[in-house]
Amino acid sequence: MKILLTGKNGQVGFELQRSLAPLGEICAVDQEDCDFTKEASIRRLVQLVQPDVIVNPAAYTAVDRAESEPDMAHAVNALAPSVIGEEADKLGALVIHYSTDYVFDGEKPGFYIEEDEARPQNVYGRSKREGERALQRATARHLILRTSWVVGAHGANFAKTILRLAAERDRLKVVADQWGAPTSAALLADSTAHLIRERQQKGDAQFRYGLYHLVAGGETNWFDYARFVVAETLSAGYSLKLSPDAIEAIPSSDYPTAAKRPANSRLDTSKFRSTFHLILPDWRDGVRHVLRQLWDRQ
């Protein structure tokens, strides 16, 4: 089996290189290998590789900058999935694509299910929703995995930022009214490998393509998440200037950003778990694993 992996240097792409390695021949690319803002570049890549599976974590993820660069966000997050899907459909290839909690407005009181209306509130979320629709139109052989608050030892993320700030400051303010589930890049990568193996075993007729929510178990807010990162690091014996009690909870209104964030990013994973018979561990397990990797580098 030949697998084309995009975004190899991102958080999820980095972990996918590990998890997909036992499954077949991997052609892993990033922006320097293929310009994902150019339709012709994407088509040439897929036609050259002739993959059986395309795994596409590549995305424009600068949420605030997207407000001033909507064309760039649209090209990478909406146009590229459409082109990938069209070329994959010609080959009969499976496309696995990742989307985001930001397709929702965050106003629902409970957990979002896949059938809930998508009402993105910022450019990034709209571009990702457009990408979902474009891929769905382009090929039936797709898996779209919506996730949230990705964290990994490779790349930039909230946990890394908190560790850096905790080493520099003795006070910190963190938003406490946005809820979701920190999801490790490793969990996404390992789950993706499981899906590819299951599709190999079942074939087209039995495999259930479609849109799924895939996040770690449990829920938290950014404030409690930050306290957890600091507390775990201190309990492991590492020195920080910041203590968990020195982190102050603030409302989102006290931390204005260019792009509006959803207050509720909680995604219901019942469909994914029942379809693919996987248990999704609590978010703390994934964050602890990432933190151990980060501590080892210090």
pLDDT above 70 (res 65)? yes
pLDDT interval class at 205 (50, 70, 90): confident
Average pLDDT along the chain:
97
pLDDT above 80 (res 4)? yes
Q: Which CATH superfamily is domain 2-156+183-217+266-281 in?
A: NAD(P)-binding Rossmann-like Domain (3.40.50.720)
The pLDDT score that the predictor gives to residue 204 is 85
State the average pLDDT over residues 75-86: 98
Residue 79 and residue 39 in contact, taking contact as beta carbons nearer than 8 Å: yes
Active centre residues (catalytic): 124
State the average pLDDT over residues 74-84: 98
CA atoms within 13 A on the CB side of 213: 24
pLDDT above 80 (res 42)? yes
- What is the DSSP secondary structure assignment for residue 103, as one 8-state letter? G
Share of the chain above pLDDT 90, in %: 97
pLDDT above 80 (res 121)? yes
State the Cα angle at 150 between 50 and 209, rounded to 5°.
45
pLDDT above 80 (res 144)? yes
Say whether pTM exceeds 0.85: yes
Rounded Cα–Cα distance for residues 114 and 120 (Å): 14
Residues 6+ apart with CB under 8 A from 100: 124, 125, 128, 146, 147, 148
State the average pLDDT over residues 278-295: 97
State the average pLDDT over residues 263-290: 97
pLDDT interval class at 298 (50, 70, 90): low
State the Cα angle at 215 between 28 and 16, rounded to 5°.
15
